[in-house]
Amino acid sequence: MFKRTLINIGAGAALAAAAVLGTGAAAYAHECYNANRSEKGNAGASNSESWLTVHFAELTAGLPEADAECVNDAYAATGAPTSFTIKIKGANGQGGTLGANNPNVETKAADGKGIDQIFAAHGADIAGSFEACGVALPF
């Protein structure tokens, strides 16, 4: 009984995360990044407690080697960034998030200028890479 409860809780959490990521609400969960910042700038920012660099390859950790290689190669072929430095602490802006009250957030979320949202800008590349290899998304 306890094992089933844990499975149900885990499944519920996974579905909630997928729903948030899929609806664009994840922009308010700090998945915003500076699309204009250089790799050197990202490296400097990631040395701060406020920023964290996440790498696409982290999504394939734990997959069988052939699947991970296929997904990583498919994603690399898209030309999308292989890493994103995201604000994790002390986000700027009203409401505690980047762009929370920006009336242009929907039209500016993936324009490649300033602050963009990872999934608005590259969600299709991310999902498509997994789909092309027949691998389920990890979230």
Q: What's the pLDDT at 130?
A: 97
Q: What's the pLDDT at 29?
A: 43
pTM score, whole prediction: 0.67
Distance of CA 56 to the CA centre of its chain: 8
**Model pLDDT for residues 99-130, shown as the tens digit of each residue:** 555 666 667 777 878 778 888 899 999 999 99
In a domain, 137, yes or no: no
Residue 36: DSSP 8-state: T
In a domain, 34, yes or no: yes
**Model pLDDT for residues 47-63, shown as the tens digit of each residue:** 888 888 899 999 999 99
In a domain, 104, yes or no: yes
Domain that includes residue 9, residue range: 2-132
* CA nearest to 34, candidates 79, 77, 91, 75: 91
In a domain, 138, yes or no: no
In a domain, 139, yes or no: no
- C-alpha separations of 6 from 3, 17, 19, 62, 122 in Å: 5, 16, 20, 21, 32
Q: How many folded domains does the chain comprise? A: 1
**Model pLDDT for residues 51-105, shown as the tens digit of each residue:** 888 999 999 999 999 999 999 999 999 999 999 988 777 655 545 555 555 666 6
What would the two tokens of residue 87 be?
């604000």
